[in-house]
Amino acid sequence: MKKPQIKYYGDLKGVSPRPLVLGIDQSYSGFAMTFMAKDGEPHFSSYVYKADGSGVDRLLKIQDFITSTVLEIKGRGFTVVDSGLEGYAYGAQMAHMAGELGGMVKTTLRKEFTGDATYPLIIPPAMVKKYVTGKGTGIQKNQMLLQIFIKYSEQFDDDNVADSYAIARMVSGRASLAYEKEVLKKLSDPKFREKPAYTETI
């Protein structure tokens, strides 16, 4: 059995506690999370976890990874004030597996956080691509990696981490270019956040 792998990127370990946002790229092949400072310099910590196994056992391992990483961030004095995750790629193969993973992620965030972080922004993949590259279609994974390096001077060797980093920037509200602002304006529509009119304690 292969040993689960966790890779780490970023500089948040040397930063004093402050409000963070969380970006998630939910993938079985590499589940990625980026915690980023909401305001000021975009200090961040990114993690990608490659779980082994299959079925519910694999889901539980990913859930344990999410929970332990969140607890580690909280234990260092940080607070997570908002979150977002990449939505489903409709028509993709194994859609039922994606649905199981997505449901597990949402319920885990619901239990771990309060406020806006409790109900993440659900960001369509095309919006992630447009925010980074200016185009929502026809963008390959290597183009995302390259564009993130060009725009933000951050070098990643994993496309899942790159997407989670972009999502964290989106959730933090960072935008200077016209197409970035256009994407964030669309995301302000309440339909992108599955938040009920009331909050029930669980």
Can you say whether the dihedral through the CA atoms of 96, 97, 98, 99 is positive or negative?
positive
Q: What is the pLDDT of residues 136-190, one digit of tens each?
A: 777 778 888 999 999 999 999 999 999 999 999 999 999 999 999 999 999 999 9
Confidence of residue 198 (pLDDT cuts 50, 70, 90): low
Confidence of residue 1 (pLDDT cuts 50, 70, 90): very low
Please list the residues that pair with 45 across neighbouring strands: 10, 35
pLDDT of residue 99: 87
Nearest C-alpha neighbor of 6 from the set 166, 168, 154, 158 = 158
What mean pLDDT is reported for the chain? 90
Q: What is the pLDDT of residues 56-89, one digit of tens each?
A: 999 999 999 999 999 999 999 999 999 999 987 7
Token pair of 11 as six digits: 């500089």
What is the Cα 139 distance to its own chain's centre?
19
